[in-house]
């Protein structure tokens, strides 16, 4: 069984490095952007990315997940037809949605910029560039072209960073410079993706295959939309109930919390292809269970480290008007962790083709999210938004686990994972007592806490009699 874990770790590293690099670049850009963009400008960029994410999900319509399934479970002679059909569908959807977006551009501009701004046209044309980029990137992932995936992903991050420096730092274009960087980066790297995958499709469309793709993929549309809304509703409600400045500050907390994706992103990217590959093995359920436990151990350590030092990190990275964002990091980083658990629980539905269950769990989380946002944000501001986001993702995860266990039971070690996170939360609360200490004393005590927790995790792994078995 150990070869399964070795393969997952290998794939996590291969597909994780580009995501780690992207997350690292995102963190590096925080001190740059916060010094050249006001909180309101930062907030408008954040809302624009929300719109881009939502429309992109509508265009893709779950095709990315459907392609992953049919690439792995269809005959070699049929794969090209499925891929070609999905590409034609996406190109048609892009044309249709762009026409609609241009017609309603004035309303979207009022939502994002709170005025009628020409910048909305940058946003509109970023959407098809992103959709095409993601199509090729997912195709490289599901066809196991790790080298090409690596080049395209790293290339995007490098080019985007260079363009940010040119248009925001040197030419002082403000948020317009950010939009230019997104548009050019997605467009250029889409060309690379096309060159790397051109042998996988031809200009053809099969109606019956399109229906099959849509039937498998449409629940993932809800999952994608809910995922975007769960991660973006907070910004939307903050914009409506408070102001763009609060959105900008909150976005800094989101950015710092996403540092946890340096750990989780490679694992989550590799998990789907890996799980499908071993699904027919007799011991696959044992492997899934152990993955759940080791994920719990490792991610809890990094969550605690990020939470303990979030205040000090922001003191170094951003101007003073943004530093209050540290208060939302524990909850937003917790949401990143729960998203990882949600992906694990979704394996049951994906393997058994009961993907509608994923839509149900996602909608439950979205409903919880919207209710909590309305009640918490007016009273607690950005902290209320962060708490609502965390509870909502927990709701989706719990519902998905309950439904998934009924159709594909996996004996997850909940008690062990729960105990580890409980101890991590106790350590976090102990660290709050250091707020009255000097900066040096506070940092030293936090280092002691994370060191003690690291020893605990090591001992749990060491004495777990099932370790890697």
Instruction: Answer yes or no: are the C-beta atoms of 168 and 36 closer than 8 Å.
Output: yes
428 in any annotated domain: yes
Give 329's pLDDT tier (boundaries 50, 70, 90). Answer: very high
Q: What percentage of the chain carries pLDDT values higher than 90?
A: 22
Cα(208)–Cα(350) distance, integer angstroms: 21
Same domain, 296 and 196: no
The domain boundary, picked from 205, 240, 274, lies at 205
Cα(43)–Cα(61) distance, integer angstroms: 27
Same domain, 43 and 1: no
> pLDDT tens digits, residue range 245-299?
888 889 889 888 888 877 776 666 667 667 776 766 777 778 788 888 888 888 8
The tokens describing 353, both together, are 């083709």
- Give 85's contacts (C-beta < 8 A, 6+ positions apart): 204, 205, 206, 209, 210, 213
Cα(169)–Cα(159) distance, integer angstroms: 15
140 in any annotated domain: yes
Give 468's pLDDT tier (boundaries 50, 70, 90). Answer: very low
Q: Buried (b) or exposed (e) across 140-168, using 16+ Cβ within 10 A? A: bbbbebbebbbbbbbbbbebbbebbeebb
> pLDDT tens digits, residue range 339-350?
888 888 887 777
30 in any annotated domain: no
> pLDDT tens digits, residue range 11-39?
666 666 777 777 778 778 888 888 898 88
Average pLDDT over residues 375-391: 92
Instruction: Answer yes or no: are the C-beta atoms of 131 and 59 closer than 8 Å.
Output: yes
The tokens describing 250, both together, are 């909150």
Task: Say which residue the tokens 């989380």 belong to.
Answer: 365
Cα(17)–Cα(137) distance, integer angstroms: 14
Neighbours of 399 (CB within 10 A): 21
> pLDDT tens digits, residue range 207-251?
888 888 888 877 777 667 777 777 778 888 888 888 878 888 898
The domain boundary, picked from 205, 240, 262, lies at 205
Q: What percentage of the chain carries pLDDT values higher than 70?
A: 91
Asked if pLDDT for residue 158 goes beyond 90, the answer is yes
Same domain, 267 and 133: no
pLDDT at 467: 44
> pLDDT tens digits, residue range 126-147?
999 999 999 998 888 878 787 8
**Structural domain count, the chain:** 2
pLDDT at 465: 53
31 in any annotated domain: no
Structural domain of residue 170, as residue ranges?
Answer: 37-205
pLDDT at 14: 67
Neighbours of 134 (CB within 10 A): 18
Handedness of CA 133, 18, 268, 360 (dihedral sign): negative
Asked if pLDDT for residue 54 goes beyond 90, the answer is no
218 in any annotated domain: no
The tokens describing 246, both together, are 């609060």
The tokens describing 447, both together, are 């280092």
Asked if pLDDT for residue 94 goes beyond 70, the answer is yes
Least confident of 180-189, 389-398, 412-421: 412-421
Cα(467)–Cα(297) distance, integer angstroms: 12
Same domain, 151 and 248: no
Average pLDDT over residues 315-339: 89
Same domain, 186 and 252: no
Same domain, 156 and 246: no
- Give 271's contacts (C-beta < 8 A, 6+ positions apart): 8, 291, 343, 344, 347
Same domain, 201 and 304: no
Same domain, 267 and 179: no
Nearest to 90, CA basis, from 219, 222, 201: 201
Residues belonging to the chain: 469
Give 69's pLDDT tier (boundaries 50, 70, 90). Answer: confident
Cα(392)–Cα(366) distance, integer angstroms: 7
Average pLDDT over residues 324-334: 92
Same domain, 189 and 252: no
pLDDT at 281: 72
pLDDT at 115: 79
Average pLDDT over residues 373-390: 92
The chain-wide mean pLDDT, for the chain, equals 84
The domain boundary, picked from 165, 190, 205, lies at 205
Same domain, 403 and 358: yes
The tokens describing 56, both together, are 């992109």
If DSSP states are collapsed to H, E and C, what string results for the chain? Answer: CHHHHHHHHHHHHHHHHHHHHHHHHHHHHHHHHHHHCCHHHHHHHHHHHHHHHHHHHHHHCCHHHHHHHHHHHCCHHHHHHHHHHHHHHHHHHHHHHHHHHHHCHHHHHHHHHCCCCCCHHHHHHHHHHHHHHHHHHHHHHHCCCHHHHHHHHHHHHHHHHHHHHHHHHHCCCCHHHHHHHHHHHHHHHHHHHHHHHHHHCCCCCCHHHHHHHHHHHHHHHHHHHHHHHHHHHHHHHHHHHCCHHHHHHHHHHHHHHHHHHHHHHHHHHHHHHHHHHHCCCCCHHHHHHHHHHHHHHHHHHHHHHHHHCHHHHHHHHCCHHHHHHHHHHHHHHHHHHHHHHHHHHHHHHHHCCCCHHHHHHHHHHHHHHHHHHHHHHHHHHHHHHHHHHHHHHHHHHHHHHHHHHHHCCCCCCHHHHHHHHHHHHHHHHHHHHHHHCCHHHHHHHHHHHHHHHHHHHHHHHHHCCCCCC
284 in any annotated domain: yes
Comparing 6 with 183, the larger pLDDT belongs to 183
Same domain, 68 and 14: no
First to last CA, the chain: 6
Instruction: Answer yes or no: are the C-beta atoms of 421 and 300 closer than 8 Å.
Output: yes
Task: Say which residue the tokens 């590409």 belong to.
Answer: 87
Average pLDDT over residues 177-185: 95
Comparing 7 with 412, the larger pLDDT belongs to 412
26 in any annotated domain: no
Instruction: Answer yes or no: are the C-beta atoms of 396 and 367 closer than 8 Å.
Output: no
222 in any annotated domain: no
Same domain, 271 and 416: yes
> pLDDT tens digits, residue range 267-276?
666 676 677 7
pLDDT at 384: 93
């Amino acid at each position: 069984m150990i070869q399964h874990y070795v393969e997952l770790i290998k794939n996590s590293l291969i597909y994780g490095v580009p995501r780690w690099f992207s997350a690292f670049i995102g963190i590096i850009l925080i001190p740059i952007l916060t010094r050249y963009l006001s909180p309101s400008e930062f907030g408008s960029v954040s809302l624009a990315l929300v719109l881009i994410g939502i429309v992109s999900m509508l265009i893709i319509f779950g095709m990315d997940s459907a392609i992953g399934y049919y690439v792995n479970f269809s005959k070699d002679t049929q794969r090209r037809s499925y891929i070609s059909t999905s590409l034609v569908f996406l190109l048609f959807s892009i044309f249709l949605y762009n026409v609609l977006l241009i017609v309603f551009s004035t309303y979207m501009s009022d939502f994002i910029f709170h005025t009628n701004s020409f910048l909305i046209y940058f946003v509109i044309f970023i959407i098809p560039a992103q959709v095409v980029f993601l199509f090729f990137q997912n195709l490289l992932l599901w066809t196991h072209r790790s080298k090409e995936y690596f080049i395209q992903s790293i290339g995007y991050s490098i080019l985007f960073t260079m363009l940010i420096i040119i248009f925001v730092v040197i030419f002082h274009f403000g948020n317009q410079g950010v939009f230019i960087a997104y548009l050019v980066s997605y467009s250029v790297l889409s060309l690379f993706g096309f060159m790397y995958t051109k042998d996988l499709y031809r200009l053809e469309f099969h109606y019956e295959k399109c229906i099959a793709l849509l039937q498998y993929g449409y629940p993932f549309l809800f999952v994608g939309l809910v995922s975007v809304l769960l991660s973006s509703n907070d910004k939307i409600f903050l914009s409506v109930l408070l102001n763009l400045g609060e959105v900008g500050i909150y976005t800094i907390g989101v950015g710092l919390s996403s540092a946890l994706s340096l750990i989780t992103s490679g694992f989550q990217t590799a998990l789907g292809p890996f799980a499908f590959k071993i699904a027919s093995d007799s011991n696959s359920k044992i492997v899934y269970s152990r993955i759940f436990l080791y994920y719990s151990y490792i991610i809890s350590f990094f969550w605690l480290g990020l939470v303990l030092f979030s205040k000090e990190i922001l003191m170094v990275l951003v101007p003073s008007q943004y530093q209050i964002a540290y208060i939302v990091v524990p909850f937003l980083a917790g949401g990143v962790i729960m998203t990882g658990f949600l992906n694990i629980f979704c394996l049951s539905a994906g393997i058994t083709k009961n993907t509608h269950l994923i839509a149900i769990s996602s909608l439950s989380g979205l409903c919880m999210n919207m209710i909590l946002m309305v009640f918490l944000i007016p009273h607690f501001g950005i902290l209320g938004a962060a708490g609502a986001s965390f509870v909502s993702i927990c709701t989706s995860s719990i519902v998905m686990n309950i439904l998934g266990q009924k159709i594909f039971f996996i004996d997850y070690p909940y008690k062990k994972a729960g105990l580890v996170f409980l101890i991590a939360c106790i350590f976090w609360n102990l660290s709050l007592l250091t707020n009255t200490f000097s900066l040096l004393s506070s940092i030293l005590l936090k280092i002691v806490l994370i060191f003690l927790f690291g020893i605990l995790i090591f001992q749990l792994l060491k004495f777990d009699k099932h370790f890697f078995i």
